[in-house]
Amino acid sequence: MKFKKERVNYVDSDKTTKSVVATGIGNAIEWFDFGLYAQLAVIISHNFFGNMPQEIQMASTFAVFAFAFIVRPLGGIFFSHLGDKHGRKLVLATTIILMAVSTLALGLLPTQHQIGIWAPILLLVVRMIQSFSTGGEYAGAMTYIAETSPDKTRGKLGSGLEIGTLSGSIMAAILAGIMYSLLNDQQMQDWGWRIPFIIAAPLGIIGLFLRSNLDESPAYESTFEEKEELEYSYKDIFKYYWKDVLVCFTGVAFLNVANYMVLSFMPSFLNSTLNLGGTTSSILSTITMAVMIPAVFFFGWYSDKIGNKRATMFGLVGFSLFSILAFYLMSIPSIPVVMIGLFIIALFMSTFEGVMPSVLPSMFHTKVRLRTLSLVYNIGAAVFGGLTPFILSTLVSTTGQKIAPSYYLMFINVVGLIIFAFMFKSTSNKSLRGAYPNVENRSDYEEVIKNPKDALWWDKE
């Protein structure tokens, strides 16, 4: 391919930072809902599955959480085609509306005591709408940030997406903790649990306003201007990019197992399995996630310095070696010891959250990036994300061991360690596949045009 220096993209860091904030808010709303569902899972189980035995209620609540993920790949396919045809910006605006509306609807649902079997059915329908919109949200947000970031700071800026994740989960934990402390158990069960979900609506309006002012990504516009057709069907993508798909699917697996374990399973684990109570569980969850925010930013920033492969491997090795120890510490009835176990999990999870939002989009060519990432990510999220709380709660109930979740966590990370060690090459400080470099200053531009072959490294593949 002949190098055309006029196609090198100048990227405004200030605009990119605003884009990160706008996309991060959508992710915050998504995880605000997931966090509330986790923090209030005990109450939701009583209100929607109250006619079932006590030990089945929690598993049923997480089963609904998991089953709703079936539609997530469908949302990914729908929104990725929308994004490839009409731009990334439209996807981000549409998904945030759906998420905010469905989260509000969840807070208004009648309970099983009021309408019987229709209550859990409606709960499932609302969760499926949320999952459908999330199918386009996260992959679209990752792609947008990766395509609008300077190549040298893609890791740092990508970490902002997961800071949005943690911020939404922290808001959920704080709000749930306030509700638990202000209301008694009966008030919480009768109406208090609804208030946090209803609050999501104004957050959605703010997010929509911010996203409506975004610019389209330069990588997408460059492809669109050349009127390049989408050359590959999904069959072709899996035929020609199967190695990239496998590595991406593996990354999605260990990222989502860690995410949904900490953000969706852990609050109920601390509350019911460890019997710490709703208020204490919310406080511990909030502290853990607050500590993670600077750690996530650090690992995103550091991955730009040392390479995203080395940063990812640190997390994989850490989880493989220390998962059992972390859950063993959490099973000891001492708050300080439980906190040490939580911090061990939080440290290694922070590496994934800081690095993977920039790693996953960089695996695919611009012409197939959003479609492939949406499909692979959402299938992986459905299998390894949605099922994780259910699998972990089932492991605890069937084995009777409080450390049982560590076996699953360790297994997933050992598999990830093997595949990433042999099949993944660092993409830090490189242009995205199928795109010219993104630079933010003249010196970076001069460096690029002096080394055109390095700038288009992907053309050799």
pLDDT band at 227 (very low <50, low <70, confident <90, very high): very low
Digit-coded pLDDT (tens) for 305-347 = 999 999 999 999 999 999 999 999 988 888 899 889 999 999 9
Helix (H) or strand (E) holding 439, with range, is strand 438-439
Residues 6+ apart with CB under 8 A from 305: none
Select the more confidently predicted residue: 234 or 128. Answer: 128
Neighbours of 156 (CB within 10 A): 22
Q: What is the pLDDT of residues 423-451, one digit of tens each?
A: 999 999 888 888 888 888 888 888 888 88
CA distance linking residue 106 with residue 451, whole number of Å: 54
Alpha-carbon gap, residue 399 to 405, rounded angstroms: 10
Which residues, including other chains, have CB under 8 Å from residue 212's CB and lie 6 or more apart?
93
pLDDT of residue 248: 95
Q: Rounded mean pLDDT of 222-245?
A: 69
Fold that domain 10-215+237-429 belongs to in CATH: Growth Hormone; Chain: A; (1.20.1250)
For 199, the token pair is 């609050």
Q: What is the mean pLDDT of residues 206-216?
A: 69
Tell which residue, 129, 149, 153, has the closest CA to residue 141. Answer: 149
Angle at 263 between CA 260 and CA 266, to 5 degrees: 95
| Residues facing residue 9 across a β-bridge | 438
**Measuring CA to CA, which residue among 306, 377, 258, 381 is closest to residue 156?**
306
DSSP letter assigned to residue 217 = P
Tokens of 154: 């893609």
Q: List residues bridging with 122 in a β-sheet.
A: none
**Most confident by average pLDDT, 52-56, 136-140, 156-160, 180-184:** 156-160
Of the two residues 266 and 294, the one the predictor is more confident about is 294
pLDDT average, residue stretch 262-270: 76
Between residues 407 and 454, the one the model is more confident about = 407
* Mean pLDDT calculated for residue range 277-297: 85
CB 206 within 8 A of CB 118: no
User: How far apart are alpha carbons 222 and 180 in whole angstroms?
Assistant: 51
Residue 418 pLDDT exceeds 90: yes
Q: Report d(CA 70, CA 84) in Å as an integer.
A: 23
CB 85 within 8 A of CB 94: no
Residue 1 pLDDT > 80: no
User: How far is it, in rounded angstroms, from Cα 343 to Cα 334?
Assistant: 14
Contact 158, 300 (CB under 8 A): yes
> Coil, strand, or helix at residue 9?
strand
pLDDT tens-digit profile of 246-255?
999 999 999 9
SS3 content of the chain, % helix, strand, coil (to 5): 85, 0, 15
Note the pLDDT of residue 211.
Answer: 67
The type of residue at 165 is T
For the entire predicted model, the pTM comes to 0.81
The pLDDT of residue 230 is above 70: no
What's the CA gap between 199 and 103, in Å, rounded? 9
3-state secondary structure of 276: coil
The region that residue 429 occupies, defined by phi over 0 for left and psi between -120 and 50 for alpha, beta otherwise, is left
Instruction: Give the residue from 144, 133, 119 showing the smallest Cα distance to 60.
Output: 119
pLDDT band at 224 (very low <50, low <70, confident <90, very high): very low
Q: Does 411 score more than 60 pLDDT?
A: yes
What's the confidence (pLDDT) of residue 306? 94
How far apart CA 320 and CA 258 sit, in angstroms, is: 12
- Residue 349: φ, ψ to 5°: -65, -35
pLDDT tier at 388, thresholds 50, 70, 90: confident
Residue 138 to residue 144: CA distance in whole angstroms: 10
Of residues 246, 237, 197, the one with CA closest to residue 38: 197
pLDDT confidence band for 293 (50 / 70 / 90): very high
Q: What is the pLDDT of residues 73-120, one digit of tens each?
A: 888 888 877 766 666 667 777 887 888 888 888 889 998 888 988 888
pLDDT above 90 covers a percentage of the chain that reads 24
| Residue 153, amino acid | T
| CA 351 to each of CA 150, 313, 385, 420: distance values in angstroms, whole numbers, following the listed order | 21, 9, 18, 14
Burial 111-133 (b: 16+ CB within 10 A, else e): bbeeeeeebbebbbebbbbbbbb
| Dist CA 447 CA 383 (whole Å) | 43
pLDDT of 222 > 60? The answer is no
pLDDT, tens digit (0-9, with 9 covering 90-100), for 336-361 = 998 899 999 999 999 999 999 999 99
Average pLDDT of the chain to the nearest whole number = 83
